[in-house]
Amino acid sequence: MGTIKVENIRVFANHGCLKEETAIGSDYRVDLEVKADLKASAKSDELNDTVDYVFLNKVAREEMSKPSKLLETVAQRILTRIFNEDKMVTKATISVSKINPPIGGDVEMVTIKMTEKRKK
């Protein structure tokens, strides 16, 4: 088993419960970590034997571009797509952070983190 991380994917998106948030948009950070068997790719040196991090970045960006009220919703969409579209992934963890959230204080970011295992 091995781990592939794609960290600090920076996107601008329109998520939030307030109308202003979805109209104006905000900066976000997405971090992904997936578990998969990497032994075959370590031997073969072939991309089709591993989880392609270009794919992971693409899924995160595409799902972040679809407005949601809650970060949990967009995170779940990303996890669902990863498991549906890459059968090698056995476990995935995602963190979605809203940078400088409008919560009435000096807060760098708020983050939700979700982990899911492949259902057998």
Please name every residue paired with 97 in a beta bridge, in sequence order, or none if there are none: 29, 111
More confident residue, 22 or 74: 74
Q: Where are the domains of the chain?
A: 2-117
Q: Give the pTM.
A: 0.93
Residue 34 pLDDT > 90: yes
Model pLDDT for residues 39-72, shown as the tens digit of each residue? 999 999 999 999 999 999 999 999 999 999 999 9
pLDDT (0 to 100) of residue 89: 98
What is the distance between the alpha carbons of residues 2 and 89, in angstroms, rounded to a whole number? 10
36, 1 in Cβ contact below 8 A? Answer: yes
> Which of 14-18, 30-34, 106-110 is predicted least confidently?
14-18
Q: Cα 74 from chain centroid?
A: 8
Model confidence band, residue 115 (pLDDT cutoffs 50, 70, 90): very high
**Residues ≥6 apart with Cβ < 8 Å to 45:** none
| Domain 2-117 falls under CATH 3.30.1130.10 | yes
Model pLDDT for residues 68-105, shown as the tens digit of each residue? 999 999 999 999 999 999 999 999 999 999 998 878 88
What is the distance between the alpha carbons of residues 65 and 120, in angstroms, rounded to a whole number? 30
